Chain A
Amino acid sequence: MSVDQATVRRIAHLARIAVTEEEVPHLQGELNAMLAFVEELSAVNVDGVEPMTSVIPMKMKMRTDVVTDQAGADIIVANAPVSEDHFFVVPKVVE
């Protein structure tokens, strides 16, 4: 399989990464090189094989449903590029 330029733009948007028109052909080439590299997998017989979900067999551990860590609002927003009164500030999303 290979991707066309429209697909490159669609993937970039899905991944929320801005691409310029000039970058699209180059990215298309790189993505197709990777897809060509993984192409050989389509020849592997995987009939009846379970997909791996956990590389080391282990039982999912459960913990008590209680608060374990209360960092506090100051610490939570300490690394935010923009914050106000313990809120993260983003561009307006509702009119």
Chain B
Amino acid sequence: MTEPTSLTLAQARDALRNKTLSATELTKAYVSAMEKGRALNAYVTETPEKALAMAKESDARLANGTAGPLEGLPLGIKDLYATKGIHTQACSHILDGFKPNYESTVTSQLWRDGAVMLGKLNMDEFAMGSSNESSFYGPVVSPWLPPKRDAEWARTALAGDKKGLLVPGGSSGGSASAVSARMCIGATASDTGGSIRQPAAFTGTVGIKPTYGRCSRWGMVAFASSLDQAGPIARTVRDCAIMLRSMAGHDPKDTTSVDAPVPDYEAALGRSLKGKTIGIPREYRIEGMSPEIEKLWDNGVEWLRDAGAKIVDISLPHTKTALPAYYIVAPAEASSNLARYDGVRYGLRMPGKDIAEMYEKTRRAGFGAEVRRRIMIGTYVLSAGYYDAYYVRAQKIRTLIKRDFEQAYASGVDAILTPATPSAAFGIGEKGSADPVEMYLNDVFTVTVNMAGLPGIAVPGGRSAEGLPLGLQLIGRPFDEETLFSVAHAIEQAAGQVDLPQAWWNV
């Protein structure tokens, strides 16, 4: 029999329904994979007892015909989703010991639909990062071997300082690493500037950031509330479609969640692309783009043309302003959201001679360097005298970015094809130590989508010259995730199956 962890989410779902596999067998296989893969540091908390108890209940429901859409499927949960009674810290020290007494809406919907929880996944602290190196719990390692390195070298590096091993991307690095290492069948993730799509692209997995408002943000640790959105990372487009259907939906507890029916996304797969128009934005052909990224993009264009879509060149003139504007809007919202961490109601507290000193010492000790830097920039751009010059101007630019997309869609474009990232995965410790902006450039193709509130999906599109996964991004109309799934599925079919790395990391 094939190893249960080699099945995709859709295959495992069908095997469970056909009773050729039990939820307990599947969960035990994942619990074992999770334990053997600890050195990758993808999980910050494992909940094997809970997983097996949930699997047992799933088996009962599968037997009596009351199984839900995700019945018995073992998932990893990003550490920023509140999970009742279980470690929830957004991988920050400032939430030290925090165990919420409530469950996030998104995770409660997954459990409602029968999913099994394996544990909490590592991430960049407060989702601020593109390499998962800012986590309080240390960096996550990608299961993909670095170019020209073999398994033996990698095992030695993994036991040592991890230098030279690859990052899984971020901020949902634990999610991407665990999915591509087959340590969960799918994972929740979140995306403020690219945190679902960039790690998916780096690890040969699929990730979708739905339209702003598609998923409830209730019970998710907030970073930048006008940009944050939940979404899944999984092995295939179909797997993401299945997960998103359970995650999405209206929630009265989040006023920005949209009261609209959730379609059966899986049904969109296999729809013909005839009559669909795909836009290719010229501004994404950035200066110094590597030939392998150009080739990836050109291949994507050819595949969609072959599948019957009409390809048109489009212009999104304000593309270049999106990343700098993001680095005003996101830190500003973060400085406001993270003001709640004061050492009084939850988490870490450092003693001080008065309340101001207690706040300052607590926040100094509790936040990591990247988070402190962003809070300070956010505080500065919101401070008296600078608010109009920075914050209001950035919000006006955001209007222009969104208008660019609206004009493209009004001209008949159904979806937009771009590369997901400017490069393949890089090494741990390689970027951003001298200049934070170097790391920020990772999100150059993804951040526009958050600024405009649109849905975006990253799907594997090929390999770099050195054999590392590269991803293509599709950007859709608001609430038209179905078109993204159908077009991404066509790319997936044309690009061929991703051979996930062999488990060199197992102990």
Chain A residues within 8 Å of B, Cβ to Cβ: 1, 3, 7-8, 11-19, 27, 30-31, 33-35, 37-42, 44, 46, 49-56, 58, 60-61, 63, 71, 75, 78-82, 88, 90-93
Contacts and interface: CB of A to CB of B under 8 A. Distances in A.
Of A37, A53, A80, most buried by chain B (CB within 10 Å of CB) is: A37
Contacts of B373: 27, 30-31, 34
Given A58-B258, A80-B344, A63 B360 contact: no
23 contacts: A7-B380, A8-B376, A11-B383, A12-B376, A14-B379, A15-B363, A16-B356, A16-B363, A18-B357, A18-B363, A18-B364, A19-B364, A33-B435, A37-B324, A37-B327, A38-B324, A42-B393, A44-B321, A51-B396, A61-B259, A80-B345, A90-B344, A90-B355
Interface stretch (B116-124, B232-240, B303-311, B398-406): B398-406
B376 A91 contact: no
Contacts of B255: 60-61
Contacts of A92: 354
Contacts of A53: 395
B352 interface: yes
B247 interface: no
B437 interface: yes
Residues of B contacting A: mostly: helix
Interface residues of B, number: 74
A44 to B, nearest CB: 6
B361 A55 contact: no
B280 interface: no
A13 B367 CA distance: 15
Contacts of A42: 389, 393
Contacts, number: 163
Interface string B75-105: 0000000000000000000000111111000
B344 A17 contact: no
Of A31, A56, A58, A63, most buried by chain B (CB within 10 Å of CB) is: A56
A19 B365 CA distance: 10
A91 B358 contact: yes
A88 B343 CA distance: 10
In order of increasing CB-CB distance, the 8 nearest A-B pairs are A55-B453, A51-B395, A81-B349, A79-B346, A18-B364, A18-B360, A46-B396, A38-B324
Given A11-B380, A63-B252, A17 B358 contact: no
Interface of B: 97-102, 211-213, 226, 252, 255-256, 258-259, 318, 320-321, 324-325, 327-328, 335, 339, 342-349, 352-361, 363-364, 367, 372-373, 375-377, 379-380, 383, 386, 389-390, 392-400, 402, 435-437, 440, 451-453, 478
Contacts of B354: 91-93
B436 A33 contact: yes
Contacts of B399: 49-52
Nearest to A8: B376
A30 B212 CA distance: 31
Contacts of A54: 226, 256
Nearest to B358: A91
Nearest to B254: A61
Contacts of B393: 41-42, 44, 46
Contacts of A17: 360, 363-364, 367, 372, 375-376
Contacts of A50: 396, 399
A61 B253 CA distance: 11
A61 to B, nearest CB: 5
Contacts of B379: 11, 14-15
A7 B259 CA distance: 45
B434 to A, nearest CB: 9
A85 B318 CA distance: 56
A13 B344 CA distance: 18
A63 B255 CA distance: 10
B346 A3 contact: no
A71 B101 contact: yes
Of A7, A30, A38, A92, most buried by chain B (CB within 10 Å of CB) is: A38
A37 to B, nearest CB: 5
A79 B97 contact: yes
A44 B398 CA distance: 11
Of A16, A58, A78, most buried by chain B (CB within 10 Å of CB) is: A16
A31 B234 CA distance: 36
B347 A81 contact: yes
A52 B399 CA distance: 5
A55 B212 contact: yes
Contacts of A11: 376, 379-380, 383
